[in-house]
Amino acid sequence: MIKIKSFFDIDKEEKWLNKQLQNGFQCKNISGLGIYTFEKTDKRYVMRLDYQEYLPKEKFEDYKGMYEDFGWNCIKGSQRGLQYWQKEADAVNELYSDRHSKSNYYKRVMNYTSGLTVVSFFISYMIYKDSGLYLTEGLWSMEGALFWKAFLFETPFALLRSCPALITIFLGSSFYKAYRIHSILKEQ
């Protein structure tokens, strides 16, 4: 079974993956594009996600070896970023990833979204500074059927011009969510 999904919150992603495992589907592969490959199984599995800052190759191998000694299988991972760990469910299902690693993940999300928000805001400003969403001259002074024809013709284009503003709002809210979670993890 293949599912395509994207996440900005590693906790939500982990919960979703574990729900798939509870439904009897073992995770086999995760691509960078959000394509998850599952296989039907009779065994019970658990999955945990851990975020790591850059680890030199030797430390990364030690890190992987330590968890593999405890029965964890690395589904996806590299020397930097998210590590996807899966194992058969038993009495010890925690990975013991520290708050510091999650805090670093949300700090990285904040850095990405803040830069993209500024760029998106600038693009929105450039689009809207001299005109509104509707560019048809004299649209608001037209009357009757002529107004409605011009208005309906222009509306799809106005919706397209509103995309940068909507993207700015989405990125800004993602930044704020990451900031809140980062602050909570930092205080604990």
Give per-residue pLDDT as tens, 151-172: 999 999 888 888 888 999 999 9
Considering the domain architecture, whether residues 65 and 120 belong to the same structural domain is answered as: no
Q: Any long-range contacts for 176-182 (C-beta under 8 Å, 24+ apart)? A: 177/8, 177/9, 178/8, 178/106, 178/107, 178/109, 178/110, 178/113, 179/106, 179/110, 181/9, 181/102, 181/106, 182/103, 182/106, 182/107, 182/110
Shared domain check, 140 and 71: no
Whether residues 46 and 116 fall in one domain: no
Work out the number of other CB atoms within 10 angstroms of the CB of residue 19.
Answer: 10
Residue 130 lies in a domain: yes
Q: Are 114 and 152 contained in the same domain?
A: yes
Q: What is the pLDDT of residue 169?
A: 92
Structural domain containing residue 7: 2-88
Q: Are 78 and 68 in contact (CB under 8 A)?
A: no
Answer whether 80's CB lies under 8 Å from 52's CB. yes
Coil, strand or helix: which one is 131? coil
The strands making up 81-88's β-sheet, listed across from edge to edge, are 45-52, 81-88, 73-76
Q: Per the domain annotation, does 93 fall within a domain?
A: no
Q: What percent of the chain has pLDDT over 90?
A: 13
Residue 130 has pLDDT above 80, yes or no: no
Same structural domain, 62 and 16: yes
Domain co-membership, 176 together with 115: yes
Residues in the chain: 188
Q: Are residues 21 and 73 in the same domain?
A: yes
Strand duo 2-4 + 81-88: pairing: unpaired
pLDDT at residue 27, as a whole number:
83
Q: Which residues pair with 24 in a beta bridge?
A: none
Same domain for 159 and 134, yes or no, is yes
Is the pTM of the predicted complex or chain greater than 0.75?
no
Range scoring the smallest mean pLDDT among 32-41, 42-51, 99-108, 144-153:
99-108
Distance between terminal CA atoms of the chain? 39
Predicted local confidence at residue 70, as pLDDT: 79
CA dist 35 and 9 (Å) reads 16
The number of CA neighbours under 13 Å toward the Cβ of 141 is: 4
Determine how β-strand 25-30 pairs with β-strand 35-40. Answer: antiparallel
Number of domains into which the chain is organized: 2
Based on the fold, state whether residues 76 and 155 are members of the same structural domain.
no
Whether residue 157 is contained in a domain is answered as yes
